[in-house]
Structure 1
């Protein structure tokens, strides 16, 4: 389990929680779900939908929403540019990804509406932007896929794009209209507070050992959980639970969040509506202008085997974030950063995910390649559907996923990953 800093802006801007329930002694249940991120909570909800009499326990090593699920940039994506393959392969993979993402978005949207969590959710899409003309070609390739799959989008450029964002920085942009922007920690907290009656959540209950068999036996620090069936929804940590070892690597990302803009500052930039930008370049900045008028800047991605960063590590990256904010919002020289934090994303070599039933009574889902909100939700929900025999077009697409490819052994992995990240970063330019 990664050790996280205590300075995540999404978490720190929420009220403190005191309603933590931990494992106390041994317990027995029908289903155990390991991991209370978006995938784990989706699996628990879907199990409760389909098996309302089942006793379901979710265990989480940290507090729900304070790990990777609550530390990301809050993009519940509909679709994103393809990564590998020829045109037909990219089109097929893009369709599969889009259908899975939309299944996740719809399942989350249902929960948002049912539980009154609209304050955590902005369903007005996201932007993919290029600051330099040389990177606009990536957007044009992305547009081809959007057109082929009939996915709603719109081009914005020049003054129209500048007015929408409130900054004269980006050259061109594509607005995909079905994505959502969320406050990830608040959304996880809302889902936790509205778990079905037959679901129990145990937080701050790290797993120390797991044994698979006719029953799944999980030894935790505070006791043992014995379950008939398990869903392991630990994303990039599946290998630590004895599943799909050597298939996923981690990148450590850092982000900063400013104080809210005051009224004068908001009007100085044209008082735009909230927005989120994903860069046209893979190593470009991910940015949010949030509903409470803060700016979140994430513009570092590093191969950092230790995962967690020290205060001095974060301070160095905070300077990079502030420099990038100043470059885009030069008209706001007084704006300062309030929070800086790190987080990890799980990336597979072939950008695929785990969608598997490795044993008759074990389901495994993970490897979301930085798309855990929508993709993780969709895959977890569909995996439970597959177990229960509930067919759908989305399930048929999920079943097409190849497993994540095997990674090279260390230290070759370390050397190759660092070199690849450095190479990609060198070409990002103003992005």
Structure 2
């Protein structure tokens, strides 16, 4: 951005939440002038570092977590996540995205222990009770999918969409049409009251807007919102170099989340030059919303062990890429959402599942900003506000201990 502009709505953040909000605004009001301000380049931030699951069902399949959920809460979660799937599906159909970008192939949850097997069986029972399609897989059946003898059972649910996250989020940006404008490398530095609306300042320009949508997740704190209410957590991933597909049996493309929370996510990806395996695991508390190369290397060593354990025949295949991605969690697991000042609307605090939760929050924030009523909006408005965190250093100590305990509880998973 160079110079001043005037719009109806300024959106701060060009990730899942911000671009989905822009898309929804343009659907509801073709004349609304919108400016999306992205500090970096679309696809190079947390959205592009996502593991690529737009999940349609509750993610944590632990029977302890799930057994206390009421049917209404389950349905609420499904509505939120399927709203994200619906928006993504709509754009894929409009733009003819291939399966290399958008693949409605479903996902597997995989177990590696008796505890994992038990949790999958319990979750299967809950899904049956809710009338949700799924299929339990025995050891031999999940081996036939993954080519790995390490998994003891699996559970398949058909509603998840698997995306190539950077290509997907850039595709969403490319869908935007006038009068929606996207400004990359244009961080919002601050905003202040300006007449009846707001003035957003950027390094080389400014945006006068009637309304603002905050879609910058943990960085909402940088503007003074949700202080001591957001936990800044990073998760890490490694991606192998390409290998000859004949070296690993099973299907050539699949995506699996762990049976136990905080376990290891694995994807097999098909490319023109061969196949790759993605391994995502390890969580760290980073209140500065930055991660060091040392932390990425440390997580990478863990990934190497998990990869070798699951795919011993590929022991000589190295990792070509490693990275960390930021999440913003709240203590009571609710989004940082709503009208936080007059005509300022937040779609932050994804609590993980950024592709699903942030997309849905962006949709709901757009509807709220335009006064549009929907079932999704009613669900979001009924959610509690994020609770405050303990004073430092108790938050840091507690967060690190909690993450370490959850990872330890996941065991081999």
Ranges in structure 2 where 5+ consecutive residues have no aligned partner:
none
The yes-or-no answer on 1:397 pairing with 2:379 is: yes
Residue 272 of structure 1, CA deviation: 0.7
Match of 1:71 in 2: 49
The yes-or-no answer on 1:176 pairing with 2:157 is: yes
- When residues 371 and 90 of structure 1 are mapped into structure 2, their CA distance, relative to the original with a 3 A threshold, is farther
Contact 1:34/1:234 (<8 A) preserved: yes
Contact 1:57/1:201 (<8 A) preserved: yes
Among residues 341, 358, 362, which one is paired with 2:344 in the alignment? 362
Cα distance in structure 2, aligned partners of 1:146 and 1:220: 48
Match of 2:297 in 1: 315
Ranges in structure 1 where 5+ consecutive residues have no aligned partner:
1-22
Among residues 392, 408, 413, which one is paired with 1:426 in the alignment? 408
Residue 144 of structure 1, CA deviation: 3.4
The yes-or-no answer on 1:383 pairing with 2:365 is: yes
Match of 1:111 in 2: 91
Structure 1 stretch 138-147 or stretch 243-252: which is displaced more? 138-147
The yes-or-no answer on 1:279 pairing with 2:258 is: yes
| Alignment deviations for residues 185-213 of structure 1 (CA, whole Å, 9 cap, x no partner) | 11011111221221111111122222246
1:10-21 correspondence runs (5 A): none
Cα distance in structure 1, aligned partners of 2:69 and 2:315: 47
Match of 1:7 in 2: none
Among residues 353, 362, 367, which one is paired with 1:371 in the alignment? 353
Cα distance in structure 1, aligned partners of 2:69 and 2:249: 42
Contact 1:29/1:226 (<8 A) preserved: yes
1:12-31 correspondence runs (5 A): 23-31=1-9
Residue 87 of structure 1, CA deviation: 4.3
Contact 2:40/2:185 (<8 A) preserved: yes
The yes-or-no answer on 1:332 pairing with 2:310 is: no
TM-score where L is the length of structure 2: 0.93
Cα distance in structure 2, aligned partners of 1:366 and 1:149: 29
Contact 1:82/1:93 (<8 A) preserved: no
Residue 429 of structure 1, CA deviation: 1.9
Among residues 218, 225, 230, which one is paired with 1:243 in the alignment? 225
Q: Name the SS for the 2:219 alignment partner.
A: helix
| Alignment deviations for residues 366-388 of structure 1 (CA, whole Å, 9 cap, x no partner) | 11111121221122213322443
Residue 82 of structure 1, CA deviation: 6.4
Among residues 126, 129, 151, which one is paired with 2:110 in the alignment? 129
Cα distance in structure 2, aligned partners of 1:402 and 1:89: 16
Cα distance in structure 1, aligned partners of 2:263 and 2:71: 24
Aligned residues: 406
- When residues 93 and 157 of structure 1 are mapped into structure 2, their CA distance, relative to the original with a 3 A threshold, is same
Contact 2:109/2:259 (<8 A) preserved: yes
Match of 1:102 in 2: 82
- When residues 30 and 388 of structure 1 are mapped into structure 2, their CA distance, relative to the original with a 3 A threshold, is closer
The yes-or-no answer on 1:81 pairing with 2:70 is: no
Cα distance in structure 1, aligned partners of 2:360 and 2:49: 19
Cα distance in structure 2, aligned partners of 1:25 and 1:165: 53
Q: Give the alignment's Cα RMSD to 1 decimal.
A: 2.0
Q: Name the SS for the 1:380 alignment partner.
A: helix
| Alignment deviations for residues 24-47 of structure 1 (CA, whole Å, 9 cap, x no partner) | 122221111111001100111111
Contact 1:308/1:342 (<8 A) preserved: no
Match of 1:203 in 2: 184
Cα distance in structure 1, aligned partners of 2:23 and 2:323: 30
Cα distance in structure 1, aligned partners of 2:190 and 2:369: 25
Cα distance in structure 2, aligned partners of 1:114 and 1:91: 34
Cα distance in structure 1, aligned partners of 2:34 and 2:248: 49
